[in-house]
Amino acid sequence: MNFINKSNWEYIDFISYEKKIKILKNFAYARIQELTEALSKEKSSGYVDRITLKIIDNLQINFSNIHIRFEDFFMNPSYSLGITLQNIFVINTDSNWQQIFIDRNSNKQLDVFKLLNISNFGIYLNIDEKENISTVENINQVENKLAELFPKEAAKIENVEYLIKPGKNF
């Protein structure tokens, strides 16, 4: 038989080993939880996220003098179809409809209000159209002709049959 000399014996305490592994696992789990929470907080309150939120919250839209016109002089009768929009804008307001700058990063409970204003929106259809604007060669003349089709102070334009008549702001 081959016996190991008593001086070379190694003592292994299995009870304390299991306790040590359990303590290490608990410690590792707790650190992983802390890191996960820290990363999730950092992602939600990151610089890019805050800037993106501020840009989206304060995005304002303003378009004016839009006129889209379709003409068909090959059909019998000829016709023109158009959409006019003198002005459309969207702005941020407070609860009293006064324009404001919004920063929800400093106040998460802030309500966001948007004001939409549309001026002189109209759709027209002219059957048996006589004037072919698309054949005018000078761009300034085309712009002038299209501008004439915008109503002035919600007055009806001659020789235009509105499907939706432009009116005051709504």
Interval 15-54: pLDDT, tens: 677 777 887 888 888 888 888 887 776 555 577 777 877 8
38 and 109 share one domain: no
139 and 87 share one domain: yes
Any idea of the CA torsion for 148, 153, 157, 162, to the nearest 10 degrees?
A: 110
CB within 8 Å of 62: residues ≥ 6 apart: 87, 88, 89, 90
Helix, strand or coil, per DSSP, at residue 119: strand
82 and 108 share one domain: yes
Identify the CA nearest to 53 among candidates 88, 13, 16, 103: 103
> What is the spatial distance between Cα 124 and Cα 157, in angstroms, rounded to a whole number?
11
> What is the spatial distance between Cα 121 and Cα 169, in angstroms, rounded to a whole number?
9
Identify the CA nearest to 165 among candidates 126, 129, 123: 123
User: Is 94 contained in some domain?
Assistant: yes
45 and 68 share one domain: no
For 20-72, strand residue ranges (E) read 61-72
CA angle 146, 152, 158 (to 5 degrees): 65
82 and 159 share one domain: yes
22 and 83 share one domain: no
* pLDDT tens-digit series, residues 87-116: 899 998 888 888 888 877 777 777 788 899
User: Is 7 contained in some domain?
Assistant: no
Q: Please count the structural domains in the chain.
A: 2
119 and 39 share one domain: no
Helix (H) or strand (E) holding 80: strand 79-93
Amino acid 20: pLDDT: 77
20 and 79 share one domain: no
42 and 74 share one domain: no
26 and 96 share one domain: no
Helix, strand or coil, per DSSP, at residue 48: helix
37 and 68 share one domain: no
User: Is 103 contained in some domain?
Assistant: yes
Range of the domain at 98: 60-164
